[in-house]
Structure formats: C-alpha cells, structure tokens
Copies of this chain bind each other. A is one copy, B any other.
C-alpha cells in the first residue's frame, strides 16, 4: 500500500424525511442567511422546494434564491451566483439538487470568498484559500460530490469543462434521502450508474498496484451499483435499491476507494469532460461512450487487473470479455456506448482530441495522453 492521507469531515444525514432537518442543521451551525441554489422545476415538482422553504422559515433563516442551475453547470451562471452571495452577504450555500447544483454551489462558495475570478482556480493558476460553508440536499445520486472536495464546471465560452479540489469545499452537512431520488428518470439512473462505476474503476485500472483490500471494496461497490440499478429500472420507487445505490455512489468518490493505490489517474473523466464541454451531453453518457474505448486501449498495460475484473464481476476468463460485458451492460441500461449513439460524427474526433488534450495539459496527463493516443481511444469509441 502506498502512503496516503485521509480526511473527510462531511457529516452525512441519510434516510427518510431527513430534508426536514435542514433548518435545525443550519441553526445549530449559527447560519443566518443562505444562498439557496437549485436547478429548474424538479425540486418544486416533488414538493422539496416547499419543504426546504418551510424548514428555513421555521428556524428564521433568511434565504436568497439562485435557481436555474443547468444539468452541466456553467461558469456564467455561477458568476451570477457569486455576485448575489457577495451582495447579500450570505453565511452559507444551501445546494438542493443533483451533482450539477452542488458543484455550482461549491463554485459559488469559493468565488464568494475571494476577489479573484473563480475560473483561475479551475485552470490551476491559483490555490483556493477559503470558501463559504456548503450544505447540500441531494436529489440525484451519481457524482459523489455530496461527500467530496471536488467541483466541476463548464466555461461555456471556451467549452472547457474543468474541476477544482479543495478541502474548503467538503460540504459541512449533506442530507441524503433516497425518496428524493424516486423521480430520477431511467435515463439519468443509467448515467448515474455509469458515473459511479467510473469513479472506482479509474484508479482500479490505471494504478500500477491496487491493494487487495481496495480490489474487494471497489468490486463490492460495482456489484451494488449494477444490482440496484437493475432493480431501480424495474421499480423506480424501490426504497432499498435507491438507498443502497445512493450510498454506493457516495462511497465511490469520497476518498476511500483510491487509498493506497500506486499511481493512477482519471483518464476516462478527462476524455468525458471533453465530450461534455463540446456537446453538453450528460456526464454519465460521455463516460459510457469513453470507458469501453479506453479499456480496450489500456488493457495490455495492466492485464492482470483486467482479467481479475472480468472474473470477479462477470465470471469471465479474458480481459476482452470483461470489457464487452461492461459495454453490453451499459447498453442494456440505456446508456450510449459509442459516438454514433450520441449523434457525434467520427469527423469530430480531431476537435474532441484537441479539447481533451487541453484538459490533459491542465491535469498533467499529456505525457501519456498525447493527441495520437487520444485519437486512438476515440476511434475505439466508434464501433
């Protein structure tokens, strides 16, 4: 096992009716005024907006609304939120929604505490020194952002989809009620499943040594994601399936799964962000296109681990069989598995490669992920 540090100060409040505790939670932390960040209509449709407003009013907590966060959140809208947060002198961010809402909330939390333009942090030109406290109520389990220190946003002008990581943006408290995810569509459940799986397989495959304790942890999470997704697709209001899926998605990217793994990076996410930046495609959909393609390209660099994956997850003997099984499963649950599925033409590959290479530069991965390599991987995504 490689040396590591682990620290995750997010408090998780999990279960039925837990969103009603938000007033007490904020009051306990002496929060008097929040920027209430949310998406479009979904939290109103499920009655969550009303319950949150009621809980805040009951505890005398002022709130300024910042609705309209897009599914792939954009820098421009986040900047508007930063202005509001500064002008209204809010104490905290309350983000109610899925990964997009929470990531925009985290971005605003950082931007509100600095005179610098927040995009500088995404470009890694500056280091984050502080942020407003962030509280979340999760409505779509997928990204794990409710319990991690990351945020992703798209600069809609430059089509760059980049990320920040800082312990300042670990949410203070995240409320996870599986019932709030009942109305997530089958399409988005499929994307969520792909995202959760992606989170654990990045290091599992790209690391040069994965401790057995982590192999078991990761494989257990993947099995849970797969089983529960199949249940959810048949029965969207299956509480236990939604609950186990939700917790698996949180665990997949809260820092635990990568500990002790030697090396490793997030190449699938890098390339997926290129697709997401260019085509405004859902993150999970970008990943389901990229993952089988990347796996085909990478497998000979870590043959033993790909064989293990095939065996442990699918009871197959060969690396290629494992990759095909995963791709087939993605297809089965309704996620796109090649560029055509997403209506993207092969002639766009050079443009996608350029975008991905820019990310590779920011993420310090361009030594391996040259434009030739990226081209080869994306051509794998075209059959």
Taking Cβ atoms with an 8 Å cutoff, the residues of A that contact B are: 1-16, 18, 178, 211-213, 216-217, 219-221, 223-224, 227, 240, 243-244, 247-248, 251, 259-260
Q: Considering the chains assembled together, what is the distance between the CA atoms of A212 and B259 in angstroms?
A: 23
Given contacts A220-B213, A220-B217, A224-B216, contact A1 B260 (CB under 8 A): no
CB distance from A230 to the nearest CB of B (A): 13
A259 touching B247, Cβ below 8 Å = yes
CB distance from A235 to the nearest CB of B (A): 16
- Cβ-neighbour of A243 out of B1, B13, B14, B243 (below 8 A): B1
B1 touching A12, Cβ below 8 Å = no
Instruction: Write 7 A-B pairs (CB below 8 A) sorted by A numbering.
Output: A5-B11, A7-B9, A7-B12, A8-B8, A211-B244, A213-B251, A216-B221
Q: Which 8 A-B pairs have the closest CB atoms?
A: A3-B15, A216-B220, A1-B243, A7-B11, A6-B12, A213-B224, A213-B244, A4-B14
A14 touching B18, Cβ below 8 Å = no
CB distance from A23 to the nearest CB of B (A): 16
Contacts of A4 in B (CB 8 A): 12, 14-15
Q: Considering the chains assembled together, what is the distance between the CA atoms of A7 and B251 in angstroms?
A: 13
CB distance from A209 to the nearest CB of B (A): 9
CB-CB nearest in chain B for A178: B1
B220 touching A247, Cβ below 8 Å = no
Q: Considering the chains assembled together, what is the distance between the CA atoms of A243 and B2 in angstroms?
A: 9
Given contacts A15-B3, A211-B240, contact A247 B223 (CB under 8 A): no
Q: Considering the chains assembled together, what is the distance between the CA atoms of A242 and B224 in angstroms?
A: 28
Q: Considering the chains assembled together, what is the distance between the CA atoms of A277 and B252 in angstroms?
A: 41
Q: Considering the chains assembled together, what is the distance between the CA atoms of A8 and B10 in angstroms?
A: 8
CB distance from A3 to the nearest CB of B (A): 3
B13 touching A5, Cβ below 8 Å = yes
Contacts of A223 in B (CB 8 A): 216
B6 touching A11, Cβ below 8 Å = yes
Q: Considering the chains assembled together, what is the distance between the CA atoms of A60 and B211 in angstroms?
A: 38
Q: Considering the chains assembled together, what is the distance between the CA atoms of A219 and B5 in angstroms?
A: 25
B16 touching A12, Cβ below 8 Å = no
Contacts of A221 in B (CB 8 A): 213, 216
CB-CB nearest in chain B for A8: B8
B1 touching A18, Cβ below 8 Å = no
- Cβ-neighbour of A244 out of B1, B6, B227, B244 (below 8 A): B1
Given contacts A3-B15, A12-B6, A211-B240, contact A247 B224 (CB under 8 A): no
- Cβ-neighbour of A14 out of B213, B224, B259 (below 8 A): B259
B12 touching A5, Cβ below 8 Å = yes
B1 touching A6, Cβ below 8 Å = no
CB distance from A29 to the nearest CB of B (A): 13
Contacts of A7 in B (CB 8 A): 9-12
Contacts of A216 in B (CB 8 A): 220-221, 223-224
